């Protein structure tokens, strides 16, 4: 199939690349109403927007011809938020304009600036770069903008989020007034609208999110877990899906460092990306993912911007995104170019309400599921192994001779079992999750029931009960976190109307009591009080334990002021009656 409305050089490049039809965003920028105008394009990452703005600026670059002349001052400037995205854009534009004779160069941080200066001096038709490096070349007089016909801002919202407003304004101020300005952004917050008003004229708005792929190719899931089980949940999700490539997002560099080390220790082929890694380290990590020497990337939001892995099928949010836009940017790494992907949010029990509100605000339909258990993973492993072994294979004579030798010494069943065992030994072991056992820890243990190991135990009481919607699913993780104990050291949990009694083995009671005294009181659950009780609920004679005012809040939950009658005050020197 050919594209007769395009210059022949671009038509040939698209056909050679295997294009048979345009995506929605590519078709939209080629409509007659968009010709020659400034554009504000809301397009999701992975929807083909790089080719879209390459096609959109073709009339200005080629000026009615099929070929570009000798390279001199740049005719088009593309600004991208990260090195990886800028280099990706450069590669896309190189093949798109290869038959037109275009010279496309990149100017990005972390590369040799003198080499870039030489490239600029030799001339270029299109320059692609990051805001900081482009401003450096501009201020040094190496980037000449007098001949620019088009300026393209790719993922403009991310550039503003990263603090590049001043750099963008300086570059745009240096561009000629008559140029076209094409602004591409996955989201359209107020700062983007302000930038468009300042630097565009009569811009045409094009919105393809929702009509093209948007998030339609991404399945959103969320799992509620104990805070101490977040790392274990990441392990089980990676093992359950066994995706060819996966990204796990963390909030900080320290979280990336810790989780990456933990995954390596467990046997995962993982790499890390954060602000503390050099450009050389980042390049090695990305190449390892592309070569399949690594299958898991642990990254921060900023470090992962611009990453394009075509076979990425799984995104895990180990730390909750700061807002809906961050969630969309993270998740947009998968489900690209019509391929399906899954994004999973790992949510501590205590933060579920906040995440549900964020998802509602973003209008993202999310399925809340249980975290994969060790049994779920083993069953999935068995199914995958059977499917793999049932696939047809080509055997040569050497393979058949070795198989015959094995059958002489062992039965077919023994050989198959050895194969299964060898396969399993290479897989990281799944984790037993606290969250998976929590629903079974309802008000365990009747008055006469004693669990093994709890014959000699102490009782503690908490200032939260049924009125505050107390539930073992979040009480158990809270006890483990505050008391520095494991789930096996929590016995019966008896929830009353206003307070809850918890059974702790006598051997762990002193450690538990000391830990709850030292526990911080400024967290989400800091106002829930825990103290030693004189015995189980039936023997307790003290008054109800009151929560601390303020702090931890749930619907009708702890931290709410107690309802009291009207306050009475004594009058000084009351008048005689």
pLDDT, tens only, 4-17 = 788 899 989 999 88
Q: Which residue has the higher pLDDT, 362 or 551?
A: 362
Predicted confidence at residue 92, as pLDDT, reads 92
Predicted confidence at residue 543, as pLDDT, reads 61
Predicted confidence at residue 522, as pLDDT, reads 57
Residues 450-472 have a mean pLDDT of 83
Instruction: Using the predicted structure, report yes or no on whether residue 186 has a pLDDT greater than 80.
Output: no
Instruction: Using the predicted structure, report yes or no on whether residue 577 has a pLDDT greater than 60.
Output: no
CB 467 within 8 A of CB 556: yes
Instruction: Using the predicted structure, report yes or no on whether residue 548 has a pLDDT greater than 80.
Output: no
Q: Any idea what the Cα angle at residue 249 is, between residues 246 and 255, rounded to 5°?
A: 125
Q: Any idea what the Cα angle at residue 475 is, between residues 512 and 322, rounded to 5°?
A: 110
CB 224 within 8 A of CB 349: yes
Predicted confidence at residue 155, as pLDDT, reads 85
Predicted confidence at residue 350, as pLDDT, reads 80
Model confidence at 211, in pLDDT bands (50, 70, 90)?
Answer: very low
Across 87-97, b (16+ Cβ under 10 Å) vs e yields bbbbebbbebb
Model confidence at 88, in pLDDT bands (50, 70, 90)?
Answer: confident
Complete domains list, the chain, with CATH: 8-207 (3.40.50.300), 218-375 (3.40.50.300), 437-532 (3.30.70.330)
CB 358 within 8 A of CB 70: no
Predicted confidence at residue 567, as pLDDT, reads 41
What gap in Å lies between CA 367 and CA 157, rounded to an integer? 28
Enter the tokens of residue 126. 């299109």
Instruction: Using the predicted structure, report yes or no on whether residue 87 has a pLDDT greater than 60.
Output: yes
Model confidence at 82, in pLDDT bands (50, 70, 90)?
Answer: confident
What gap in Å lies between CA 223 and CA 204, rounded to an integer? 41
Q: What confidence tens digit (pLDDT) does each residue in 235-281 have?
A: 999 999 998 899 999 988 899 999 999 999 888 999 998 878 877 78
What gap in Å lies between CA 480 and CA 229, rounded to an integer? 11
Give the DSSP letter string of 2-56: --TTS-HHHHHHHHHTT--S--HHHHHHTSGGGTTS-EEEE--TTSSHHHHHHHH
Residues 360-380 have a mean pLDDT of 88
Predicted confidence at residue 574, as pLDDT, reads 46
pTM for the model stands at: 0.57
Predicted confidence at residue 130, as pLDDT, reads 93
Predicted confidence at residue 125, as pLDDT, reads 95
CB 433 within 8 A of CB 232: yes
Residues 493-512 have a mean pLDDT of 89
Q: What confidence tens digit (pLDDT) does each residue in 89-125 have?
A: 999 999 999 999 999 999 998 788 999 999 999 999 9
Q: What confidence tens digit (pLDDT) does each residue in 32-79 have?
A: 999 999 999 987 666 788 999 999 999 999 988 888 989 999 999 999
Model confidence at 290, in pLDDT bands (50, 70, 90)?
Answer: confident
Q: How far is CA 106 from the centre of its chain?
A: 27
Q: Which residue has the higher pLDDT, 314 or 217?
A: 314
CB 132 within 8 A of CB 80: no
Q: What are phi and psi of 116, to 5 degrees?
A: -65, -35
3-state helix, strand, coil in the chain (%, to 5): 40, 15, 45
Q: Which long-range contacts (CB under 8 A, 24 or more apart) does 281-286 make?
A: 282/83, 282/84, 282/110, 286/84
Q: What confidence tens digit (pLDDT) does each residue in 405-417 have?
A: 888 888 888 888 8
Q: What confidence tens digit (pLDDT) does each residue in 421-460 have?
A: 887 778 888 887 764 434 333 344 444 456 666 778 899 9
């Amino acid at each position: 199939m050919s594209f007769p409305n395009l210059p022949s050089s671009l038509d040939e490049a698209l056909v050679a690349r295997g294009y048979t039809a345009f995506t929605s965003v590519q078709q939209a920028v080629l409509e007659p109403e968009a010709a020659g105008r400034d554009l504000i394009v809301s397009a999701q990452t992975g929807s083909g927007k790089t080719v879209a703005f390459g096609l959109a600026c073709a009339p200005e670059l080629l000026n009615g011809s099929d070929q570009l002349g000798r390279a001199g001052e740049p005719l088009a400037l593309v600004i991208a938020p990260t090195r990886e995205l800028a280099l990706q854009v450069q590669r896309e534009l190189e093949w798109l304009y290869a038959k037109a004779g275009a010279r496309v160069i990149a100017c990005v941080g972390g590369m040799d600036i003198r080499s870039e200066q030489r490239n600029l001096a030799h001339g270029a038709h299109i320059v692609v770069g990051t805001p900081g490096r482009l401003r450096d070349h501009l201020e040094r007089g190496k980037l000449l903008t007098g001949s620019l016909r088009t300026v393209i801002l790719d993922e403009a919202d991310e550039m503003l989020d990263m603090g590049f407003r001043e750099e963008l304004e300086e570059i745009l101020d240096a561009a000629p007034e008559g140029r076209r300005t094409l602004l591409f952004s996955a989201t359209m917050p107020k700062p983007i609208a302000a930038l468009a008003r300042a630097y565009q004229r009569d811009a045409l708005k094009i919105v393809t999110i929702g009509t093209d792929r948007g998030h339609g190719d991404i399945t959103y899931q969320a799992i509620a877990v104990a805070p101490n089980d977040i790392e274990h949940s990441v392990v089980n999700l990676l093992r359950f899906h066994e995706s060819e490539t996966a990204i796990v997002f963390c909030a900080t560099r320290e979280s990336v460092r810790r989780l990456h080390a933990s995954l390596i220790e467990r046997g995962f082929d993982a790499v890390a990306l954060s602000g503390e890694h050099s450009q050389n380290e980042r390049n090695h990590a990305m190449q390892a993912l592309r070569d399949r020497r690594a299958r898991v990337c642990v990254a921060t939001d900023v470090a992962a911007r611009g990453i394009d892995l075509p076979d990425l099928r799984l995104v895990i949010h180990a730390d909750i995104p700061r807002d809906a836009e961050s969630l969309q940017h993270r998740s947009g790494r998968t489900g690209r170019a019509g391929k399906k992907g899954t994004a999973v949010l790992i949510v501590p029990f205590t933060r579920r309400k906040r995440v549900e509100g964020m998802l509602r605000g973003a209008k993202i339909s999310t399925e809340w599921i249980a975290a994969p258990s060790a049994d779920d993973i083993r069953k999935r492993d068995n199914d995958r192994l059977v499917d793999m072994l049932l696939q047809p294979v080509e055997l040569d004579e050497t393979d058949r001779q070795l198989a015959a030798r094995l059958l002489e010494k062992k039965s077919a069943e023994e050989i198959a079992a050895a194969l299964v065992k060898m396969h399993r030994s290479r897989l990281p072991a799944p984790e037993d999750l606290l969250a998976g056992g929590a629903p079974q820890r309802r008000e365990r243990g009747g008055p006469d029931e004693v669990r093994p190991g709890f014959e000699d135990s102490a009782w503690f009481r908490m200032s939260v009960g049924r009125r505050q919607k107390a539930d073992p699913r979040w009480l158990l993780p809270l006890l483990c976190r505050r008391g520095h104990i494991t789930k096996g050291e929590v016995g019966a949990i008896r929830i009353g109307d206003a307070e809850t009694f918890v059974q702790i083995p006598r051997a762990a009671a002193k450690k538990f009591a000391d830990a709850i005294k030292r526990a911080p009181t400024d967290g989400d659950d800091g106002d829930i009080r825990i103290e030693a009780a004189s015995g189980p609920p039936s023997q307790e004679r003290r008054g109800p334990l009151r929560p601390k005012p303020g702090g931890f809040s749930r619907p009708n939950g702890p931290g709410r002021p107690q309802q009291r009658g009207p306050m009475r005050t004594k009058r000084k020197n009351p008048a005689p009656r």
